Amino acid sequence: MKKLKFGFILSLVLALGTFLAACGNAGEEGEEGTGGNNAGGGAENAGDFTVAMVTDVGGVDDKSFNQSAWEGLQAFGAEQGLEQGTNGYHYLQSKGNADYATNLNTLVRGNFDLIYGIGFLLANDVAKVAEQNPDNQFAIVDSVVEADNVASIVFKEEQGSFLVGVVAGLTTKTNKIGFVGGVDSDLINKFEFGFRAGVKAVNPDATVEVNYAGAFDKPDQGISIASAMYGSGIDVIYHASGATGNGVFTTAKDIKINDPEREIWVIGVDKDQAPEGELTLDNGETVNVTLTSMIKRVDVAVKDVAERAMNGEFPGGEIVEYGIEENGIGISETQDNLSEDVLTAVEEWQQKILDGEITVPATEEEFNNFEL
């Protein structure tokens, strides 16, 4: 397996042997933890610190965003000798938007020292619950909540999306590329326009078709969109759609099984989604339709902020941003389907971003004005 030695690769070793058991349901009452509210400083020792998160509707095992956040808490818990559950590290899963406030308040009653809302869809509820509980510490991922007891964790998704756009632009044989977004929003627009800029930078003849599913938890919608895209001749699809993207992988694998000679690819998001693209052909050969993945180290960010809070350095009222330079954004280490020329091009464009030679667009206006 080829490895690309980007500066963003951290030596984070995630805990092994911890299973994604469903330890909470929407509206479930949390038991009181031993940590207690601690907005003014860190816990007396690691054993006294408790941390929990509320997922968005994609679920903790979405193989993407929520799962990455949970893996960050698992790694934090393993390093600090904490147990999974209400006296250590914990999660509550949301089945719908109405569950967000209920789950957040359940964790407040459980006296967790730090409570995460995972995803911008929880921002309004985090803001309300944080205002009602000023002595509690909260963190929101992928949004900004202006409150002294809330840390806002954001990423430069456009940078990593630009890099996988370079990959797509140099890999496509049809010059037809697709982008599948979850909810059309400022956040997912960063993925879209960064990606389109990367494609444009290396292959101005290629077109990018964009389709938003309107949800992060609808694999069937992902299947429908991907089927139409691949059917139109698109050979590479980048998805930024959470569990909806599972349907994109399903479609690509089905096509590959029926037509093994066709070159068809999916670019994953948030985590290394190579495992989602693996399949076995009728002749017994194992292949993979995952071209690469845009890595967004939600796990690193969640673990980092938890450590700060435990040590009495909670960044309440601050925006904590992670990009390539901060080791929070990049492309996946699994690169079996990438040529040396493509890897070299990615390295070159990444360095241009780091050197400030280009500013990757994050909005439609910036994309329209983007020039090399």
DSSP calls for 171-186 = H-SSSEEEEEESS-SH
Residues 290 and 302 grouped into a single domain: no
Residue 44 is predicted with a pLDDT of 46
pTM score > 0.95 for this model?
no
- What is the torsion angle, in degrees rounded to the nearest 10, for the CA atoms of residue 242, residue 117, residue 185 and residue 63? -10
pLDDT band at 62 (very low <50, low <70, confident <90, very high): confident
Task: Examine residue 103 and state whether it is found in any structural domain, yes or no.
Answer: yes
The domain spanning residue 255 has which CATH number? Answer: 3.40.50.2300
113 is in which domain, residue-wise? 46-155+297-322
Residues 285 and 308 grouped into a single domain: no
Task: Examine residue 85 and state whether it is found in any structural domain, yes or no.
Answer: yes
Residues 291 and 306 grouped into a single domain: no
Give the separation between CA 153 and CA 301, rounded to whole angstroms: 7
Residues 77 and 101 grouped into a single domain: yes
| Strand partners of residue 207 | 176
Residue 46 is predicted with a pLDDT of 58
Residues 181 and 274 grouped into a single domain: yes
- What is the torsion angle, in degrees rounded to the nearest 10, for the CA atoms of residue 240, residue 165, residue 305 and residue 81? 80
Task: Examine residue 277 and state whether it is found in any structural domain, yes or no.
Answer: yes
What DSSP assignment string belongs to 57-68?
TT-TTSSSHHHH
pLDDT (tens digit, 9 = 90+) per residue, 126-141? 999 999 999 999 999 9
pLDDT band at 41 (very low <50, low <70, confident <90, very high): very low
Residues 162 and 205 grouped into a single domain: yes
Task: Kindly give the residue spans of alpha helices, DSSP state H, lying in 81-156.
Answer: 99-109, 123-132
Residues 235 and 346 grouped into a single domain: yes
- pLDDT at 278 exceeding the cut of 80: yes
pLDDT band at 63 (very low <50, low <70, confident <90, very high): confident
Residues 88 and 197 grouped into a single domain: no
Helix (H, G, I), strand (E, B) or coil at 119: coil
Placement of tokens 């759609």 in the chain = 241
Task: Examine residue 332 and state whether it is found in any structural domain, yes or no.
Answer: no
- pLDDT at 42 exceeding the cut of 80: no
Placement of tokens 């490895």 in the chain = 3
Q: How many domains does the chain have?
A: 2
